[in-house]
Structure 1
């Protein structure tokens, strides 16, 4: 049994004397809640997962009609296997949204890697000259939290910024297109600067491609939809309020980390555009292939996580 010999001897002696191996009653403070109250606490938190431990402590009286402590509630819940975690923040979905998610997941759930390789993933992203990266750590001693050499100054609003559009396929990247103001991206600008200049020529050279775009206003505008139909661009349908797990999001994170590793931080939008363009052209092809291949892999990110998220709030 891989235990000490004396332990077995004591248990055997206790069984001979008391007909049980349970510990003897010891002096000490008795439990402030009964077993029934413990079951009630667990049941209440199972029925209402957002119920706080402090609220339960105010609603529960102990053996002497005294309010139990919040830590007592946490210990009772922890004993039953419940742990306090941050909740998943999901969108407000109507029955129509849930139905659209379900249909999309059923239609694209059986796609293999070959089919996902024919998809061109695109989206816009916002890059700021001052980025608050949660990966940055500071080595300090206790009590040095607010010391000048331990504080990383950051503009809460991110400073100057620009919008960048880009698209990726299995073997190539398309773009980028830079917008120095979010308001510049309307249907007319999106059609002329993005679709007409980049997407249509690329899809014309590579047949049987499917273009993916989200449900931004510039993408769903009638002017944009009519242009896509007239240009014979096949579009991947995208459900409303879909989980935002486009594989190109990993590429934006890759670019942001490359910017953060620079010795020279961009001071204005022009400098930021130059840096982004340099890093965009330096993206290795195998990285793009990895993103797209993981889209069709059950263990990867991309579409299979998107399919899981499509049914997450059903």
Structure 2
């Protein structure tokens, strides 16, 4: 806390406000409590004398360190340390750079891996959201969101860590076997709308436009949409936008929601499929073969609460507002790719 903020907090406490009420300063109440105890004991809010190592960088150098790392977010601390000379011609360490960045509330995190959105993609996404941002909730509740997803038997999320001694990296106990192509998997088509969902449909062969029309659109999508008076949403995958499919949907009088390319963050079914995958990975025991995987997909698909699906569909207006604020760029609804 700055000295001005400390003085303001003490003034509020003297005026009779409790430590919890003083949280309106955007500081945890325990910090306010310690500040109150220090003021009662020493009559001051200043930090007590300490024997910590003095800073090797000046205030201008601290600002420069912040600036270069904000300009280049992937810049390593070691590079900045090698290019910076501290006080008394002392070299600074990479840890010093990290300390200065943490003091400026800059912390190192894994970057979000999103789709490569070109200027054309961003412009099309922005045009789409401008024409749909004023849709009412009832409009989004009348859309059948559909998609295909692949589920594999084995998945490495990159977050596993292992405790080992130095020099034991290649010991058998420290090696996790990698399974090519996830050990096999299945492709699944499914659809969701407000208040209901379709059954999952397993795609046994590679999906092309003719199979999409004959195996999915004709027997599943068209009767479902006609029964519940919905609008179809699917992305711009080649089988979806092929001429034989578009002509078939026009002949059946099926309304199709226009969709911008590379926009999985706008589709709530992407998050439903992600939740389905997570539920499958949490099963005990996990599926060990393709048949067990198919059974797990069918069971967990029906176990997803309908309220979860409805909340995701209700978020469509918020997704549009977020995309508009991002000027057609990445949004917080993006999943890791």
1:246, 1:174 → 2: CA distance?
16
The residue matched to 2:295 in structure 1 has which SS? helix
Change (3 A) 1:85 1:34: same
Following superposition of structure 1 onto structure 2, how do residues 133-282 of structure 1 map, counting pairs within 5 Å? 155=179, 157-181=181-205, 184-207=206-229, 209-282=230-303
Contact 1:123 1:167 in 2 (8 A): yes
CA deviation digits over 1:125-155, x for unaligned, max 9?
11122344789x99x9998x99999998773
CA deviation digits over 1:170-208, x for unaligned, max 9?
132223221235xx111111111111111111122233x
CA deviation digits over 1:199-225, x for unaligned, max 9?
111122233x22111122222223322
Change (3 A) 1:276 1:36: closer
Moved more, 304-313 or 162-171: 304-313
TM-superposed deviation, 1:50: 2.5
Contact 1:117 1:292 in 2 (8 A): yes
TM-superposed deviation, 1:157: 3.2
TM-superposed deviation, 1:6: 4.5
Mind listing any 5+ residue stretches in structure 1 that lack a counterpart? 13-20
CA deviation digits over 1:264-314, x for unaligned, max 9?
543332332233234434555444333323445x4xxx6665666663359
Change (3 A) 1:30 1:161: closer
Following superposition of structure 1 onto structure 2, how do residues 1-314 of structure 1 map, counting pairs within 5 Å? 1=10, 2-3=36-37, 4-8=39-43, 30-132=54-156, 155=179, 157-181=181-205, 184-207=206-229, 209-296=230-317, 298=318, 311-313=328-330
1:44, 1:38 → 2: CA distance?
10
CA deviation digits over 1:224-244, x for unaligned, max 9?
222222222211111122243
The residue matched to 1:178 in structure 2 has which SS? strand
CA deviation digits over 1:106-136, x for unaligned, max 9?
112122221110010111111122344789x
Contact 1:131 1:154 in 2 (8 A): no
Q: TM-score, normalised by structure 2?
A: 0.72
The residue matched to 1:175 in structure 2 has which SS? coil
1:27, 1:197 → 2: CA distance?
77
TM-superposed deviation, 1:101: 1.2
Residue of structure 2 in register with 1:17 after alignment: none
2:41, 2:298 → 1: CA distance?
72
2:315, 2:180 → 1: CA distance?
34
Contact 2:123 2:328 in 1 (8 A): no
Contact 2:186 2:204 in 1 (8 A): yes
2:275, 2:65 → 1: CA distance?
45
Aligned residues: 293
